[in-house]
Amino acid sequence: MPTAPASTPHASHTSVWLWVALIVFTAALYLFGLGGSYAPTNGDEMVYIHIARLTAATGHWLPLQSDIVNLRNTKPPFLFWQAMVAGDWGNHWTMFALRLPSVTYSFFTAGIVAALTHRIANNWRTACLAAVVYLAFFSTFRYGRAYLTSGPETFWLALPVFYLLWNAKEIAKTPIAWKTFTWFGLAIGVGLLYKSFALVAPAAATLWFVLLWLEPSLQWRSLLRTTLGVTWSALLALGIFSLWFVIDPNPSAVWQEFVVAENAGKMSGSQGYWHAALFGDYPLWTQLLAYPENAGLMWFVVVGLAWLGVSAGLKNKVRTPWMPAQGTLMIWLLVWLVIFSIPSQRSARYVIPAMPALAMVLALYWDRIARFWFFITLGISAIAFVMLGRIAWVMSDMGIGSQWDLWTALTLTTAGGLAAIAGVLKSQWTRNSSLFACLCVYASFSAMVAPLDSPAAQYSEAVKAQLQGKRIAVPNGFTGQYERFGFVLPGKTLIPYDAEGRNTGALHPDMPPAERLVFLLENHDAVVWLQEGAQPTDALCAAKCKVLGRRWHVKSRHREGEITWSNLWHPDQWLFGREWLVTLQK
């Protein structure tokens, strides 16, 4: 990296308060729409909720329970125990309650990132910037906000490196005590119990390389001591993870379903390792873009940071005032990237626990990254504001939401658009405007979908009471996605049927739609039916069924040719569909 600009220990009070206000805005953004069904997430979330709900219903911590074939011990128990406690064992089972612990973990991580950056740069503006950048990463907003493993695993696996960064000067003078290695093992062990024992490899390797990096002079004694200490941390972490096998009533199922199927399967492939690495579904080159991909709208800013480092290396300008910290952060990023390039199944999600390091590096070199890279972020954001504003307007015309909902969305898109324009016109504002614009994209999206989760958009309490304890057929377009209807129609027995292109043979997906709907009605007390298009005002079974309620839903899949340049400006033609709750006409 190039020589960093001298830090400003005492930034102006106005500047600091503006950054504090931005942090408050970002925190509010994370809570806004947290319980919504359209919050950015991953398909695994509903599978995890399903397992946690059924396990909580037994009144026991273990064994884990699931009605989904081959998906029970898909993750270690800490993830499900977290939901069971947050949801009060099913007594307060809401999306907001289940997701709140993940948000809390992400906030704690962002706070530590800010504290460490301030310790490195002695600048509050840079510290606040690092925290906001971390929360502005799409990987944090999508995976560190929903009920997934990323929030807790990132926090616990990062704690040892956070400790090393904070105490870098002391560690260079005094070797780490064995007690500290024990604490490292405990922290990593908790992280493993959220995700997988396999994460001990990048966590321990990062610890080992960083400790060697911080040694003032590398000698065989320090190398041996560091190796033994990290080995003890890794073994302790694995021992903590192994407690799952001890306390689970069915350890053989844990071995077969989690160790063999969930983890070992990612190292195998029928194509051959190198053929798959170069030409398979998860080619090696895509993993090299993992960090920009996780950055989301700041994709090109991360590329700009990489270009800054490469160009500085070519010019041999690599010394900076915070060289030990810089080296620690780069080791953290490289180790996770290299290790997760090895499995035959690769994903940018696997390096999410290293994203705090990227946030700190970006903050430290923010003012040295060329404006050109931020312009791209501003341009993409501007396009997003236009489309989000248009969709919000169309939704209002369709009768979805109130005028307050519309103006909230338009206010946020306008604020983001003005920030994008200001960032283009005024060079001093370009970088920070791109960050604010990125946050406004998230806020605008949350405001746009908010009417779909409002009380007015739900089925009436009378209808819910009428169906209490009934068997309801609900659409399932992806593994476990029918679980979302448990929040819409609580207290009912949900029977999933294949929908939205999914075809596992569940309840005759090959039938013509009209015939299939009648079949479902005849075999269930009620049916939730997804109907294509926003125009139909009657359910497909109008002559044979009684409509109990209807809602709008956002289509997750589209047929080829359904979205074209000619109708892109008219989202009512391709984005929305009707969800009907119907029962057989008697």
Distance (Å, whole) CA 165 – CA 184: 14
Do 356 and 493 belong to one domain?
no
- pLDDT at position 7 is 43
Do 156 and 118 belong to one domain?
yes
Do 486 and 445 belong to one domain?
no
Rounded mean pLDDT of the chain? Answer: 89
Q: Would 331 be classed as within a structural domain?
A: yes
Q: Which residue has the higher pLDDT, 17 or 180?
A: 180
Name the one residue in this structure whose structure tokens are 């596992």: 504
Q: Would 227 be classed as within a structural domain?
A: yes
Do 167 and 99 belong to one domain?
yes
Do 289 and 389 belong to one domain?
no
The 10s digit of each residue's pLDDT in 119-141 is 999 999 999 999 999 999 999 99
The 10s digit of each residue's pLDDT in 457-479 is 899 999 999 998 889 999 988 88
Q: Which residues contact 163 (CB under 8 A, 6 or more apart)?
A: 180, 183, 184
Beta bridge partners, 495, equal 473
Q: Would 141 be classed as within a structural domain?
A: yes
Q: At how many degrees (to 10) do helices 13-31 and 124-136 cross?
A: 20
Full domain range(s) for residue 408: 374-453
When mean pLDDT is compared across 255-259, 490-494, 577-581, the lowest value belongs to 490-494
Give the sign of the dihedral formed by CA 552, CA 557, CA 562, CA 566: positive
The 10s digit of each residue's pLDDT in 205-251 is 999 999 999 988 878 888 999 999 999 999 999 999 999 999 999 99
CB atoms within 10 A of CB 387: 15
Question: Of 432, 453, 474, which residue sits at a domain end?
Answer: 453
SS3 of residue 116 by DSSP: helix
For residue 500, what is the domain's CATH number? 3.40.190
Do 360 and 399 belong to one domain?
no
In terms of Cα–Cα distance, which of 347, 282, 283, 303 is closest to 143? Answer: 347
Q: Would 312 be classed as within a structural domain?
A: yes
Beta bridge partners, 527, equal 473, 582
In terms of Cα–Cα distance, which of 288, 292, 287, 293 is closest to 344? Answer: 287
In terms of Cα–Cα distance, which of 267, 30, 209 is closest to 137? Answer: 30
Do 337 and 395 belong to one domain?
no
185 touches 234 (CB < 8 A): yes
**Phi and psi of 494, rounded to 5°?**
-95, 125
What Rg do the C-alpha atoms of the chain give, in angstroms?
Answer: 26
Helices (H) and strands (E) in the chain, counts: 24, 5
Q: Residue 517 CA to chain centroid, in angstroms?
A: 35
- pLDDT at position 268 is 56
Do 544 and 404 belong to one domain?
no
Rounded mean pLDDT of 287-294? Answer: 93
Q: Which residues contact 542 (CB under 8 A, 6 or more apart)?
A: none
Give the sign of the dihedral formed by CA 149, CA 155, CA 157, CA 158: positive
Pairing assessment for the beta strands 576-584 and 545-554 based on DSSP bridges:
antiparallel
Do 287 and 179 belong to one domain?
yes
Structural element, H or E, at residue 495:
strand 493-498
Q: How many domains does the chain have?
A: 3
SS3 of residue 3 by DSSP: coil
5 pLDDT higher than 50: no
Question: Of 333, 368, 403, which residue sits at a domain end?
Answer: 368
DSSP single-letter state for residue 249: S
Q: Which residue has the higher pLDDT, 236 or 492?
A: 236
Q: Would 292 be classed as within a structural domain?
A: yes
Do 118 and 192 belong to one domain?
yes
Mean pLDDT is highest, among 39-48, 184-193, 568-577, for 184-193
Q: Would 300 be classed as within a structural domain?
A: yes
The 10s digit of each residue's pLDDT in 296-325 is 999 999 999 999 888 876 666 555 555 788
Q: Would 414 be classed as within a structural domain?
A: yes
Q: Would 262 be classed as within a structural domain?
A: no
Do 302 and 401 belong to one domain?
no
Do 328 and 384 belong to one domain?
no
Rounded mean pLDDT of 190-217? Answer: 94
The 10s digit of each residue's pLDDT in 560-571 is 777 888 888 888
Question: Of 320, 341, 368, which residue sits at a domain end?
Answer: 368
378 touches 420 (CB < 8 A): yes
SS (H, E, C) 395-432: HHHCCCCCHHHHHHHHHHHHHHHHHHHHHHHCHHHHHH
